[in-house]
Structure 1
Amino acid sequence: MTMDCLEDVLGLVAQEASALVDLLSEQDDQVLEKIFTLMDPSALEKIGSLVNKKERASAIVEYFKTSDHVACRSFFESIYQYCEEIPFYLETTLVSIAGYAAGTNFTHTSDNDDASTSQNVKRPRIDHLQRYTEALKVMIRENHARVTQAVVREIHLNDTWVYVKQKNPPRGKDRTLPPQSYLDSFEGEESDRKVSVESLLKTPGRILMLLGQAGSGKTLLVHCLGHSWSENTFPSIHLLFLLEFRHLNLISQDLSLKELLFLFYPAREDDDEQSTTVFDFIRSNPQKVCFILDGYDEFRGKLTNPTELRDITDPNISVPMADLISGLCSRKILPECTMLVTCRPRDVSDMFGSPGFIACELQGFDQSAVREYAEQFFRKKGEEFQKKAINLLMENRHFLSMSHVPGLCHICCVCVDYLFSSDGILEHQLPRSLTELYMQILMAYLKRFSGRGTCNENLLKMNRTKVIEINQLALNGLEKSTLVFTENEVSPELQEFGVRSGILSCVMLKHQDGSSGCGFTFMHLTMQEFLAALHLMTSQNFTERQLKKKLNLKSRWTTKIDPKTVFTDSLTLYVCGLAADTCTSSLILLKGSEGASAWVQKRQGAVHDVLRGLAVSASQTGPKMVEWCRCVYETQDAELAKAICSRPQFELRNIRLNIIDMDSLAFVTTAADQAICLDFGGCSIDLECLETLPSFKNVDHLIFRSRKYDDKFAEALSAFLSKLKSLQQLDFISSALTDVGAAKLSRALKDCPKITHLNVSDNSLKDEGMRKIVETLSRLPNILSILMGKNSISTEGIITLVESVAACTSLKELHVEYVNSFAFSRAIKRSAFPSHKRLTPWGEC
């Protein structure tokens, strides 16, 4: 283990105990005699009675586990000096613990010339590895500084959370593999279990996929992980390599793993011995190596199916980049290394179910995180400005919902700063959609370039040529799956405009010949998508037919047969948003030609036509319906929203819904001419998303079905049930509801007099929970049916239930857990249950 200092040498003895025992059991008696001189006579007497060499080695290690730090250090020093055939990774650990610095001589006095000769052979190898490791850490820190230079909010990896999403078990031939004992206990748990980002690298040897939508902070977090490694936070990882797919896209020739690593993290110039030593260590100790690959969704290719890989096991062989990365992820190359890949959620299937594969999903900001971020962003603006800006951000529903994504939170803060920039007076209409927000951001960047005191109309007129040029660059990049542009692809004038305005960022590039150069990226992928959409809506080069082909709804479900699509998630959203009336004037200014008004309105009409056509399609699945609602929400067209609500029920299954999704659903359902049923089955919904429920004006039936929905969820839901004025039916089924959650729901239902049907079947309710629900019936004058089957209610509890509901005049139907006929007869006789009411055991439903 290479490290600058060691805080717990005793802990290291325990950590490397197995390797130390194996090493000592292979040594000559003369070597063990040297170590015996460090031990107490009483311990030596016990060890002397052992005949088996492995047992003696084990006893030696056990002795030093409980010794002091001084004795432990001497133990490591003796092993390093006298032992032969020390594994390379253990050798680096020993030299670090024993206290040697790179480039110094071993100072322990030896009476054995062979030992001294051995030291002289070991020393250069270790020096090469130590020097490279230190240089690697410096490069990792420099990259971290570049990525975090404009970060507003300090990142704490131990307090940043991800949710374990899924586990892919071994498939096909891999089913014969032995269980991997190094996997953490959280692998295979339900997808909503939280773990810290820091914990992801605590256990080596795993393949991890870190999922998150654009702007969720994946790139920032992996660079923070790299920096944390450079500060010795992950002692089991000796070498860490962080590569970005956007840079790998620039490499067209085949490379070996060695060539790839030393291209981006080169060894000392003209030092082949160092690169050879380092790569030998990597090959011999893959469990000590970690690869972080950031942005698979930005990769122009698709990982090769491992079954199609040939001659890939040798890391010295040059292969296409997709094959090389696939070989690492499928454990055909360096099978025990740690892999962490970041991407968008829909690309998770490309991992082909690698053994030990774990997917974790980043979550967005909650309201407290939004406030904390805004406080940091506006801290230099003065207390009055800061307070006013934060109040706007927190009190405006649209700003707050969009701020749940960290990247969008930053953009919202920039927008708020821009809106208050003119004498502290809010002069512009507040954005109601993501597209309107980005239009304001564009104006803010143009004002940064042109200077203050310029109105929006003049900003677009003054910079029209440059905006058109950068829009075209954005679209060309998306069509070619390009995020990083070389100096030759961006004119000098556009470079100046883009960098000065803040739309473009300058980055250092590493070319495949090893040379470095300057490149340019958009300040964020979402900004590139918005500008590309702006070009589609204003360019004469695209016909309406071509435009319509660009409009497609992306499902949030993933399948293994899906081709890897272009890495854009929001292009369609922004095109739809630009079809809103509020964007018409800006599009006309950018179009700029005679007859621009009619041309722009015709193009906007074409977008609306496509969305109306999708509305009547019976093939739209729940996930695509959510995307459709997002698109309609961007247009802010209530008449268009009404078209989708011809279907009375929205079935949403096994997707994660965020606040913007919920706002979009509310916008669409509010436009309906009929009552709507929302059926959430297996969807992951953050509790703060439930705050949007009062906006669902026409929803009369809510269904929640999943073990994810527990007492905490029921409590959060209870706070808003009474605000759903149209609610008549509530199903909280096949969930994790207990008596505690039932009590919360019951209290809330007392303020919902329109409720006619209540279904709490297939939960974990007992007699107390049932009693709480029954007590609510007197406050529900319109209740017609109650379903309580498949719970844990006792026979006596069911009898009590039957007796209690018999007096409820409005109730027509009761479904309960299966009980025997004697119990039913007894209940009916005791309660005088009216014959016109239907009483059904669950087994007969």
Structure 2
Amino acid sequence: MELTNAVNETKGNISHLEDLFNDTGVINEDAETVFITGDAGVGKTILLQRLQNLWSKGELCADAKFFFKFRCRIFNSFEEDKISLRDLLFKYNCYPDKDADEIFSYILQHPASVLFTLDGFDEINVDCDLNDIPEISSPFDPTHPVALLMNLLHGNLLKNSRKLLTARIGTELPLRMVRKRVTLKGFSKDHLLQYLKKFFKNKPHQASVLTQLEANPHLCSLCSVPLFCWIIFKCYEHFQSTCSSQQLLDYVTLSDVYLLMLEVFINHSSKAALNKRNKSQNETFRTKREALMRLGKLAKEGIENSNFIFNQEQITAADISEEDLQLGFVKSIGHYDGCGNQSTYEFLHLTLQSFFAAFSLVVDDKISAKELIKFFTGHVPPGKPQRMLISLFPHQSLKGPSKENLLQCREHFQLTIFFLCGLLSKTKIDLLNHLTCQTKVQKKRSALKSYLVGCVKTYMVNDFYQMCAVPRFKWLLRYIFEVQSKEVAKLAAKRICKDCINFTYCNVYSADCSAITFMLRYLQKTIVLELDNNNINDYGVKELIPCFSKLRTIRLNANQITDDGVQVLTEELRKYKIVQSLGLYKNQITDIGAQYVSTLIAECSSLIKLAIGYNKITTEGGKMLAQAVRKSKTIKHLWMWGNRIGDEGAVAFAEALRNHPSLRELSLAANHISTEGGKHLASALEDNSSLKTLWLTANEMDDEATRCFADVLKVNRSLQTLWLVENNITLLGANDLIAALREISSMQEICLKNNKISIEEATALKAEQRIVF
């Protein structure tokens, strides 16, 4: 989990769940809602369940006496047009075993004792505009359910209570309502290994699964999403329990994995499967075709109407039998309605509902190719004009997604299109021919490919640079990869007219690197690829291997990359020697990884810029990097801030600086460098004529080091900017620098902010404008 600010910049990790409620990372002091976002399957619901579990044991928020949990989709299905806060709590959430009025009175007097969790804000589907919703402050007045929810989130109702709200990436909540923003990032490599050991207790099984995963980087990449990891592990578990020799190595796309999950569920629920373990996938699906079609029809109608909860009448109307339910894809859920329990149902997960909807669109002979395309380009649910929440879902069209805004539609549509692409890929033709008319499958496949070609032409030509910096371009690449069409991928590569593809802050997972590579491998030129602040990790680096020969700049800052990923990265970049700029800031690189990077610096004459700050590099790693810089005649910019190289590392960099022909910028900020290290760096500047900027912010240097820099400035005429922010410099050191500046004109700025210089002392020294206090 990562804290993000109002403009989506990462502000650090959350290691303990109680940190969700403290003051770290607060955006708006007056707001009360912690807004948690993440892609489908990344673990939002599991997080809230974990919080409830801890609260029930008294291990979370000791002052929270009441815990109310809601699925936001319930606000679509209230029988009443209007409800009050009291009804919401005690009619649709729990039945107190004591007097409800007495408990409600206590809650109103002590709102800080209440904790709400509200899951799936993106699943709200109403026919009103939130801009027209009035403010409600009375807990007894009935109002529209969504109006009640919004006033609760805003703090108009039950002010000072705590709320945790989850939603999928791309859903917006007005900042005035947001106290904190948190992004769920999924599994890193270490998390995956921990989960592997938790899931498979048997060590031989652990070793077997890990070996197979390592042999298929894309499967590893999919495992960065916890839901997909669970599905893959359940499939492995099934194969182990049936002593089957079947492997997952041949399964490439997520659609392949979901088809495999369906096969495992069907076989697991069928007694006949015990005697037919070698039954083919085609035969398995053919025997259960009608049941799968009934579930698919239900899923499709739900996707069309943004409906994710089904009552008993809807289940009966869809002719879904108890045997169909026993397959395990649809589960019964508890539902309070004030009159006892009523049977309601939902798919195991939204992604599964989207998969079944896609399955229905492909296999149903009554749906033509034209109708299939119309499903996601112009569908408006009958009788429901869908005046959607424009202020909250700006990406939602009032008329349904069109050819121009296909990739901006809500995620359940995007997922359905995604699985549609997977099911209509060439590798699924044999399976589909056993389930439906071969001619119609070919027509649907051709229509989908033609439509994707149209999307590529539209987006690549008209708005490519802006498009590639937003998530909808990520979805386009996902579709192209899932349909496994080289023709469309080549066209997309051919249409790239800009020199930079920017995926910064797009919530790109390691599995998405497969889609990126699928297109970039067909490029005929070199390009800049920016992937900062995502969740690439080591498996994503492996997935990018086929396109490193195309990249002159690769930015992988803040992506949970470890030494293993760095080893793969540097080995590939050394093969081609075309990389000019490499970003590895804020990862998990140690001295081992620093050694790999050092080899790249020394051997790759094209490398000009390197950012490797905020990692776990100590003195030894610092020495290796400094030695590599000393050998390089081309490196110009090196940013090492936020490591721990200490004075010994600083001495090594001082030696690298002496007579260096090209280095123009060097940052050793926040590296535990004391006066001793500072003195060596200052001394090295006497023999350097290339360095323009030196950052030494947040170290431990005092006036003695400052005096050395003042002396060298009288000799060095190349240095223009020197940052000594957050050190131990006093007025004495500042005066030494001012005296040196009187003798030189080449120096443009020396920054001494946040040192041991008072406001009065700084004011008295304002005459020298090149000193910034």
TM-score of the superposed pair, with normalisation by structure 2: 0.70
Question: Which SS does the other structure have where 2:5 is aligned?
Answer: strand
- The answer as to whether partners of 1:790 and 1:842 remain within 8 angstroms in 2 is no
Change (3 A) 1:772 1:235: closer
Structure 2 gap ranges (5+): 24-28, 378-389, 397-408, 643-648, 664-688, 695-711, 721-745, 750-773
* AA matched with 2:341: S
* AA matched with 2:192: V
User: Counterparts of 1:478-493 in structure 2 under 5 Å?
Assistant: 478-491=303-316
- The answer as to whether partners of 1:242 and 1:293 remain within 8 angstroms in 2 is yes
Partner of 2:570: 721
Which of 142, 150, 156 does residue 318 from structure 1 map onto?
Answer: 142
Partner of 1:502: 328
* Residues 783-817 of structure 1: CA deviation (Å, up to 9, x unaligned): 656346999999x989974723289xxxxx96733
Question: Which SS does the other structure have where 2:354 is aligned?
Answer: helix
Identity %: 17
RMSD: 4.4
* AA matched with 2:479: C
Matched, 1:192 2:68: no
* AA matched with 1:678: L
* AA matched with 1:547: L
Partner of 1:805: 661
Q: Distance in 1 between matches of 2:583 and 2:15?
A: 28
Partner of 2:468: 621
Q: Distance in 1 between matches of 2:258 and 2:590?
A: 44
- Between structure 1 and structure 2, the one with the greater Rg is 1
- How far the C-alpha of 1:258 sits from its partner, in A, is 0.4
Which of 222, 239, 248 does residue 75 from structure 2 map onto?
Answer: 248
- How far the C-alpha of 1:237 sits from its partner, in A, is 0.9
Change (3 A) 1:581 1:361: same
Matched, 1:239 2:63: no
* AA matched with 2:511: I
Partner of 2:288: 463
- How far the C-alpha of 1:373 sits from its partner, in A, is 3.3
User: Counterparts of 1:152-231 in structure 2 under 5 Å?
Assistant: 162-167=1-6, 190-201=10-21, 206-231=32-57
Partner of 2:429: 584
Which of 529, 539, 547 does residue 696 from structure 1 map onto?
Answer: 547
Q: Distance in 1 between matches of 2:639 and 2:601?
A: 24
Change (3 A) 1:747 1:378: closer
Question: Which SS does the other structure have where 1:494 is aligned?
Answer: coil
* AA matched with 1:258: R
- The answer as to whether partners of 1:398 and 1:431 remain within 8 angstroms in 2 is no
- How far the C-alpha of 1:339 sits from its partner, in A, is 0.7
Range 643-652 or range 369-378, more displaced: 369-378
Which of 389, 394, 397 does residue 562 from structure 1 map onto?
Answer: 394
Range 358-367 or range 467-476, more displaced: 358-367
User: Counterparts of 1:139-158 in structure 2 under 5 Å?
Assistant: none
Question: Which SS does the other structure have where 2:580 is aligned?
Answer: strand
Matched, 1:759 2:759: no
Q: Distance in 2 between matches of 1:243 and 1:739?
A: 41
* Residues 587-635 of structure 1: CA deviation (Å, up to 9, x unaligned): 22222x4744544543454455345435633413333332222222212
Structure 1 gap ranges (5+): 1-161, 169-187, 553-557, 808-812, 828-840
Change (3 A) 1:768 1:428: closer
Partner of 2:341: 516
Matched, 1:528 2:350: no
Matched, 1:338 2:162: yes
- How far the C-alpha of 1:365 sits from its partner, in A, is 2.1
Question: Which SS does the other structure have where 1:472 is aligned?
Answer: helix
- How far the C-alpha of 1:703 sits from its partner, in A, is 3.9
Partner of 1:434: 254
- The answer as to whether partners of 2:481 and 2:515 remain within 8 angstroms in 1 is yes
Matched, 1:262 2:90: yes
Q: Distance in 1 between matches of 2:475 and 2:608?
A: 30
* AA matched with 2:14: K
* AA matched with 1:723: E
Partner of 2:486: 638
Partner of 2:302: 477
Change (3 A) 1:752 1:483: farther
Change (3 A) 1:435 1:259: same
- The answer as to whether partners of 1:290 and 1:338 remain within 8 angstroms in 2 is yes
* AA matched with 2:294: E
- How far the C-alpha of 1:320 sits from its partner, in A, is 0.6
Change (3 A) 1:769 1:257: same
Matched, 1:369 2:201: no
Q: Distance in 1 between matches of 2:588 and 2:166?
A: 37
Q: Distance in 2 between matches of 1:517 and 1:671?
A: 55
Change (3 A) 1:227 1:769: closer
- How far the C-alpha of 1:660 sits from its partner, in A, is 0.7
Change (3 A) 1:678 1:423: same
* AA matched with 1:823: N
* Residues 316-338 of structure 1: CA deviation (Å, up to 9, x unaligned): 11011111010011111111111
- The answer as to whether partners of 1:578 and 1:635 remain within 8 angstroms in 2 is yes
* Residues 558-615 of structure 1: CA deviation (Å, up to 9, x unaligned): 9967155544142222122123111112222222x47445445434544553454356
Partner of 1:657: 508
Range 336-345 or range 356-365, more displaced: 356-365
Question: Which SS does the other structure have where 2:345 is aligned?
Answer: strand
Q: Distance in 2 between matches of 1:716 and 1:388?
A: 22
* Residues 4-62 of structure 1: CA deviation (Å, up to 9, x unaligned): xxxxxxxxxxxxxxxxxxxxxxxxxxxxxxxxxxxxxxxxxxxxxxxxxxxxxxxxxxx
* AA matched with 1:445: F
- The answer as to whether partners of 2:523 and 2:550 remain within 8 angstroms in 1 is no
Q: Distance in 2 between matches of 1:494 and 1:242?
A: 29
Q: Distance in 2 between matches of 1:195 and 1:738?
A: 15
Task: Number of aligned residue pairs: give it.
Answer: 627
* Residues 90-148 of structure 1: CA deviation (Å, up to 9, x unaligned): xxxxxxxxxxxxxxxxxxxxxxxxxxxxxxxxxxxxxxxxxxxxxxxxxxxxxxxxxxx
Partner of 1:575: 420
Q: Distance in 2 between matches of 1:198 and 1:771?
A: 39
Q: Distance in 2 between matches of 1:728 and 1:596?
A: 47
Question: Which SS does the other structure have where 1:520 is aligned?
Answer: strand
Q: Distance in 2 between matches of 1:817 and 1:738?
A: 26
Q: Distance in 2 between matches of 1:458 and 1:825?
A: 76
- How far the C-alpha of 1:259 sits from its partner, in A, is 0.9
* AA matched with 1:431: Y
Partner of 2:765: none
Q: Distance in 1 between matches of 2:537 and 2:249?
A: 30
* Residues 171-193 of structure 1: CA deviation (Å, up to 9, x unaligned): xxxxxxxxxxxxxxxxx994333
* AA matched with 1:776: A
Partner of 1:72: none
- The answer as to whether partners of 1:722 and 1:752 remain within 8 angstroms in 2 is no
Range 355-364 or range 741-750, more displaced: 741-750
Range 678-687 or range 258-267, more displaced: 678-687
- The answer as to whether partners of 1:650 and 1:677 remain within 8 angstroms in 2 is yes
Q: Distance in 1 between matches of 2:199 and 2:587?
A: 41
Change (3 A) 1:842 1:245: farther
Q: Distance in 2 between matches of 1:302 and 1:202?
A: 36
- How far the C-alpha of 1:455 sits from its partner, in A, is 2.1
- The answer as to whether partners of 1:446 and 1:459 remain within 8 angstroms in 2 is yes
